[in-house]
Amino acid sequence: QVQLVESGGGLVQAGGSLRLSCAASGRIFRNYAMTWHRQAPGKEREFLARINWSSDRTYYADSVKGRFTISRDDAKNTVYLQMNSLKPEDTAVYYCGIHTSFGITPDYWGQGTQVTVSS
């Protein structure tokens, strides 16, 4: 079993920045890819970013490329999402996920953290 706990969400003005954290426990964190997703009211959950287990590759959705950066600290069992140049349309609940198998969808999710961007 894996537990993921997100933190760092909040209210920020458009153009501002936030850094989200996702702390993992229960498995050897460094062996697995990690992803960030978000879900706005009335919309489906959306993939944002992925970092492979070795940190040598990252992938981003077009909607956040150039503004968001995913990183990980395996010593702390934590993955981060640095979000810059935030826009009101970035308002959503943000979730991290861990991929313990080879599926597209994470095998475990965190509980989510709310990000609200005011105009």
pLDDT of residue 21 exceeding 90: yes
Q: For the chain, what is the mean pLDDT?
A: 94
Q: What is the structure's pLDDT at 23?
A: 95
Per-residue burial over 16-32, b if 16 or more Cβ lie within 10 Å, else e, is: eebebbbbbeebebeeb
Q: Take residue 110 and report the two structure tokens written for it.
A: 């965190």
Q: What is the structure's pLDDT at 93?
A: 98
State the pLDDT confidence band at 30, using cuts at 50, 70 and 90. Answer: confident
Q: What is the structure's pLDDT at 41?
A: 93
pLDDT of residue 36 exceeding 80: yes
What distances in angstroms separate CA 7 from CA 31, 53, 62, 66, one per listed residue?
Answer: 22, 21, 24, 22
Q: What is the structure's pLDDT at 103?
A: 82
What does the pLDDT look like over 87-106, one tens digit per residue? 999 999 999 999 988 888 99
- Name the more confident of 56 and 62: 62
